[in-house]
Amino acid sequence: MADEKRKGPRDNGAPDYKKNLHPLMAKNYGQWSYHEKIKPGVLVHVAENGDKLYTVRAGSPRTMSVDTVRKICDIADKYCQGHLRFTSRANVEFLLAKKKDIGPLIKEVKEVLGFPIGGTGHSVSNILHTQGWLHCNLPGTDAAGSVKALMDTLMKEFESDNDLPARVKISASCCQINCGGQGDIAINLQHHHPPVIKPEGVGICELPKVVAICPVAAIRPRQQDDGVTTLEVVDEKCMYCGACHGQCPTMEIRDAKTDTLTIWIGGKTASTRNGPSFMKLAVWGLPNNPPRWTEVSDAVHKILDAYKATAYKYERMGEWVERISWQRFFELTGFPFTKYHIDDSAMARTTYNTSAQVRF
């Protein structure tokens, strides 16, 4: 690296997508007429001119060695004219011009890669997740591992496109920053006390930035007896979000003894029907138990079972609960409704039942 040739930024920008398109995508760009489901994980898109492009969707573990990525390429070279695509949920999409190649391709994907075919239609698709203990500096739990463990129990839901009332998107996050984002079901880590400040480390952080980032103004500078400025946290104000931990590693928010997992449900990004929605707290206090996190998968299945049994077709999880009420949700799943489910944020009042409508 030394300064042999300091070339500075190249600012190449984004690669040219046109060079990466499957020939049928390039030919029929903007000229698609309709699509049909052939079977779970397999779609056909039909162009105005009658051209057909077949897509086989396979679930990937997202984290892969270059050897595995090369094996994916080998299959795409053999059947897909050297072109493929990834979805936003880390599924691989093999693109085929010939229908007769679907069978042999699926066989090869299963045998060589061990990837299942599915994730289309009303399925549980691949889980969006964060880095976790594999590569993040802030996590209280793992992601790749917990997702692998949970997906092991959701194969039927991944490989079918009609087993559920509507699609179910799951995400997993390893701290309360929630990089995993919204989902029909989201599994998130929960902290349970204010950050513990490691005094020796405060010097490496920009203190005003740490003070400023606190959403509830709980952090303030403190002059020590020796004249050195450090920080202190007003415990009563702190809501254990960990924003300061991202800013300054000294603000240790995690605690292996007390961190737990919570499950949130009802998030939806599409503007379909009643529009997008945020997920809400369903279950809290689940233990963070590597390497299989069985308490989490048990809870997820309880939710999915109740959803499958009582939701209408095309009703996403949030829409389902909105219709049947949260009261019913807790009855059906057996999870307790507690005072911690009641919002106490600035938006809290918008979540109360301010009517005389009541169910029994």
Contact status: 301 vs other proteins (CB under 8 A): no
The CB-of-225 to other proteins minimum distance in angstroms stands at 29
Of 224 and 274, CB closest to other proteins: 274
By CB under 8 A, which span of 131-139, 191-199, 222-230, 323-331 interacts with other proteins? Answer: 131-139
Dihedrals phi, psi of 318, to nearest 5 degrees: -65, -40
Taking the complex as a whole, the smallest distance from the CB of residue 191 to other proteins amounts, in Å, to 13
All residues at 6 or more sequence positions from 243 whose CB lies less than 8 Å from its CB, including other chains: 177, 213, 214, 215
Angle between helix 294-310 and helix 144-152 axes, rounded to 10 deg: 50
Does position 59 interact with other proteins (CB under 8 A)? The reply is yes
Is residue 100 within 8 A of residue 88, CB to CB? The reply is no
Residues 143-202 that bind other proteins (CB under 8 A): 144-145, 148-149, 151-152, 154-155, 176-182
Mark the segment that binds other proteins (CB under 8 A) among 57-65, 228-236, 301-309, 322-330.
Answer: 57-65
Residue 311, C-beta contacts closer than 8 angstroms, at least 6 positions apart: 165, 166, 317, 320
Q: Could you say whether residue 312 binds other proteins (CB under 8 A)?
A: yes
| 17 lies in the binding site for other proteins (CB under 8 A) | yes
User: Interface with other proteins by CB under 8 A: which range of 15-23, 227-235, 324-332, 351-359?
Assistant: 15-23
Peptide bond into 291 cis (omega under 30): yes
Q: 271 or 357: whose CB is closer to other proteins?
A: 271
Q: Which stretch binds other proteins (CB under 8 A): 64-72, 98-106, 192-200, 220-228?
A: 64-72
Residues 6+ positions from 80 with CB-CB distance below 8 Å: 22, 94, 95, 96, 105
Pick between residue 10 and residue 225 the one whose CB is nearest to other proteins: 10
User: Applying CB under 8 A, does 334 fall inside the site for other proteins?
Assistant: no
Torsion sign, CA atoms 198, 199, 202, 207: positive
